[in-house]
């Protein structure tokens, strides 16, 4: 581990968030990729509200590949960017159905060829399915890692690289979720709740006047 305090920070995260896993509801590779595509720029809660009906109407890659676009759009309408996401879902499902025989491909390059799947989405899938260690950097991971000075770059892919170099790959999956949980619950974009933050003592960005225990 790169820095002496990292071990203590991870222990604190482990105690805070002992069950670091996705808050999306899914029970198959198919449901995972659909949920992850829908979750871009949208809360997991909103995605979870839409997917039960969506998966009942379109239970497989094949069923989704045959969807009529207007009907598909309607069924994911509460989701941000539902029009472009509906197009991506349809295109992704067609490729998985026709080219991969209804099996989600298991390599990064093949995943990233699918519509709606960029590096971050592919990382989430690879990590979630235990195919290979990956560290997806979303908006929360990016913000919290930088505030905690675990990474310094202003570019997402460089933050990913810095985190990968700093932490052993066995911890990447958990670290991804810990930073997301912390970003959603405490270290929010607008007003981080530093006075309630259990890892404030490790954080150079804390608002120190409000932290009694720190220093
Ligand atoms: S102390 Fe504040 S800025 Fe630092 S991690 Fe906690 S909430 Fe975020």
d(CA 110, CA 102): 14
- Return the DSSP state at 141: H
**Which tens digits make up the pLDDT trace of 25-60?**
999 999 999 999 999 999 999 999 999 999 999 999
Contact 179, 141 (CB under 8 A): yes
Structure tokens at 179: 């930073």
Domain boundaries, the chain: 6-19+136-210, 29-128
CA 8 to ligand 1 center in whole angstroms:
15
**Which tens digits make up the pLDDT trace of 126-175?**
999 999 999 999 999 999 999 999 999 999 999 999 999 999 999 999 99
What confidence category does residue 3 fall into, taking pLDDT thresholds of 50, 70 and 90? confident
Q: Whose CA is nearest to atom 8 of ligand 1?
A: 187
Q: Which of 142, 148, 188 best tests ligand 1's pocket when mutated (most atoms within 8 Å of CB)? A: 148
**Which tens digits make up the pLDDT trace of 63-112?**
999 999 999 999 999 999 999 999 999 999 999 999 999 999 999 999 99
CA 185 to ligand 1 center in whole angstroms:
11
- Return the DSSP state at 115: T
Tell me what percent of the chain is helix, strand and coil, each rounded to the nearest 5. 60, 0, 40
Give pLDDT, residue 170. 95
* CATH superfamily of this structure's domain 29-128: Hypothetical protein; domain 2 (1.10.340.30)
Q: Which atom of ligand 1 is nearest to the CA of 192?
A: 7
CA 17 to ligand 1 center in whole angstroms:
16
Q: Does domain 6-19+136-210 have CATH number 1.10.1670.10?
A: yes
29's enclosing H/E stretch is helix 29-39
């Amino acid at each position: 581990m790169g820095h002496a305090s990292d071990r203590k920070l991870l222990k604190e995260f482990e105690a805070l968030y002992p069950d670091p896993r996705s808050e999306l509801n899914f029970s198959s590779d198919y449901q995972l990729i659909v949920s992850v595509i829908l979750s871009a720029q949208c809360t997991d809660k909103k995605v979870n509200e839409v997917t039960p009906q969506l998966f009942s109407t379109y239970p497989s890659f094949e069923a989704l590949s045959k969807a009529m676009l207007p009907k598909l759009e309607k069924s994911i309408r509460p989701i941000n960017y539902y029009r472009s996401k509906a197009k991506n879902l349809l295109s992704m499902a067609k490729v998985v159905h026709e080219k991969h025989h209804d099996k989600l491909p298991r390599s990064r390059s093949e995943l990233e060829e699918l519509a709606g799947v960029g590096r971050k989405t592919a990382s989430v899938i690879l990590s979630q399915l235990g195919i290979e260690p990956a560290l997806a950097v979303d908006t929360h991971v990016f913000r919290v890692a930088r505030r905690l000075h675990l990474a310094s770059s202003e570019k997402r892919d460089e933050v990913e690289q810095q985190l990968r170099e700093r932490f052993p790959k066995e911890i990447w999956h958990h670290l991804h979720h810990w930073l997301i949980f912390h970003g959603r619950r405490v270290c929010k974009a607008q007003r981080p709740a530093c006075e309630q933050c259990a890892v404030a003592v490790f954080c150079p960005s804390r608002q120190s006047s409000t932290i009694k225990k720190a220093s």
